[in-house]
């Protein structure tokens, strides 16, 4: 069987987006619901570009959960591995935007339906066609969902899939920061691909220099490290090659889902070139630069529009865009 499908496990939620930016929460007069959650966004970007993507999560059996499933279908994401429960509600996140489009979150998720997904609900046969499994740290708080991640990672790896991890830190969701740091370090060695942002590096590794973190990252299974620095561009490292690509010029309206756009489009580039877990270590600097350039351009398109999924272009839209 061809390994063509990107799977993502974790949270899918409703982001309530503010009616205006450049103000605090208490100054926002209304919020509009939008489907979000980093793993769902990564699936959306991959699917919008023409790939096969499937989301693994659990939603509340409520109007918000139904909205998420319908919206993901509309963007081409397979929802056959999404479960519904009446034991908890769908997660919600209220968002405020500063004048530069940067976000602040307020979550309603204690617990939410996604955190109740158990490892027994994961079926190993799901990953027979898996190109990659992507996950983040938001759903790694102590819960059944954390154990479901461990099961999915083991099953996907056994099926030959690339394991991709974006910590995507959300401090307000954790009882304390040290628990988050320990959890990230526990799951980092399990990933073939790790994506980090410049804002996350100091917290996770205690350094502002990605070069100092690489020995720790490459001590585990990791073969490829992606390091994004916003307007300063992005870098990629294997154990034997390195590359840099500058950020594409853009007007920033909303950075919601920008990191997920980068991750999803980069994974799409790997898939389109037939890269597998076995061939990741041999990627050349030229290939890495090409993937980085493509993902930077994809992000530049995304941040010029509001929201996450609605801002992700198809390949045809990206090719026709004037950035």
pLDDT tens track for 264-293 = 999 999 999 999 999 999 999 999 999 999
Question: Using alpha carbons only, how large is the chain's radius of gyration in Å?
Answer: 18
Q: Is pLDDT of 1 > 70? A: no
What pLDDT was estimated at residue 323? 60
**CA 244 from centre of chain:** 21
Q: Is pLDDT of 97 > 80? A: no
Is the separation of the CB atoms in 90 and 13 below 8 Å?
A: yes
**CA 54 from centre of chain:** 13
Q: What is the pLDDT of residues 249-269, one digit of tens each?
A: 888 887 888 999 999 999 999
Is the separation of the CB atoms in 172 and 141 below 8 Å?
A: no
Is the separation of the CB atoms in 101 and 255 below 8 Å?
A: yes
Tell me if 323 is assigned to some domain: no
User: Worst-scoring range by mean pLDDT, 4-8, 174-178, 284-288?
Assistant: 174-178
Q: To the nearest whole percent, how much of the chain has pLDDT over 90?
A: 79
Closest of 228, 235, 92, 231 to residue 167, by C-alpha: 228
Better-scored residue on pLDDT, 78 or 32 = 78
Closest of 154, 124, 150, 131 to residue 139, by C-alpha: 150
Is the separation of the CB atoms in 234 and 292 below 8 Å?
A: yes
Q: Which helix (H) or strand (E) holds 52?
A: strand 52-60
Is the separation of the CB atoms in 103 and 87 below 8 Å?
A: no
Q: Is pLDDT of 112 > 90? A: yes
Q: Which two tokens stand for residue 23?
A: 């103000």
Is the whole-model pTM more than 0.85? Answer: yes
Q: What's the number of domains the chain is made of?
A: 1
The Cα–Cα gap between 50 and 153 comes to 24
Across residues 25-52, what is the average pLDDT? 93
The separation between the first and the last C-alpha atoms of the chain, rounded to the nearest angstrom, is 39
Q: What is the pLDDT of residues 194-218, one digit of tens each?
A: 999 999 999 999 999 999 999 999 9
Q: Quick check: helix, strand or coil at residue 299?
A: helix
Range of the domain at 190: 5-318
What pLDDT was estimated at residue 40? 97
What pLDDT was estimated at residue 27? 84
CATH number of 140's domain:
3.40.1190.20
Q: From residue 78, how far is each of 63, 169, 221 by CA, in Å?
A: 19, 26, 28
């Amino acid at each position: 069987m061809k390994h063509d499908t990107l799977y993502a496990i974790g949270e899918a939620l409703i982001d309530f987006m503010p009616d205006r930016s450049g103000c605090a929460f208490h100054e926002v007069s209304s919020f509009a619901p939008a489907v979000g959650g980093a793993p769902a966004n990564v699936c959306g970007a991959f699917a919008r570009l023409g790939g096969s993507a499937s989301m693994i999560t659990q939603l509340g059996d409520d109007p918000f959960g139904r909205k998420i499933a319908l919206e993901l279908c509309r963007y081409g994401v397979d929802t056959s591995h999404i479960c519904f429960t009446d034991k908890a509600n769908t997660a919600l996140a209220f968002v405020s935007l500063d004048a530069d489009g940067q976000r602040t979150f307020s979550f309603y998720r204690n617990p939410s339906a996604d955190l109740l997904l158990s490892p027994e609900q994961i079926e190993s046969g799901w990953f027979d066609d898996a190109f990659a499994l992507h996950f983040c740290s938001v759903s790694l708080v102590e819960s059944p969902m954390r154990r479901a991640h461990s099961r999915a990672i083991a099953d996907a790896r056994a099926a030959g899939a690339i394991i991709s991890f974006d910590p995507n830190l959300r401090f307000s969701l954790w009882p304390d920061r040290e628990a988050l740091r320990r959890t990230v370090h526990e799951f980092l060695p399990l990933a073939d691909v790790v994506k980090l942002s410049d804002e996350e590096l100091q917290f996770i590794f205690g350094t502002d220099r990605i070069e100092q973190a690489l020995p720790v990252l490459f001590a585990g299974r990791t073969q490829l490290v992606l390091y994004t620095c916003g307007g300063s561009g992005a870098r990629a490292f294997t154990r034997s090659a390195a590359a840099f690509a500058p950020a594409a010029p853009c007007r920033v309206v909303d950075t919601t889902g920008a990191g997920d756009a980068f991750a999803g489009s980069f994974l799409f580039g790997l898939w389109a070139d037939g890269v597998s877990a076995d061939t990741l270590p041999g990627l050349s600097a030229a290939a890495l630069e090409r993937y980085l350039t493509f993902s930077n351009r994809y992000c530049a398109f995304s941040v010029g529009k509001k929201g996450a999924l609605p801002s992700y272009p198809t390949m045809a839209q990206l090719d026709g865009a004037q950035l």
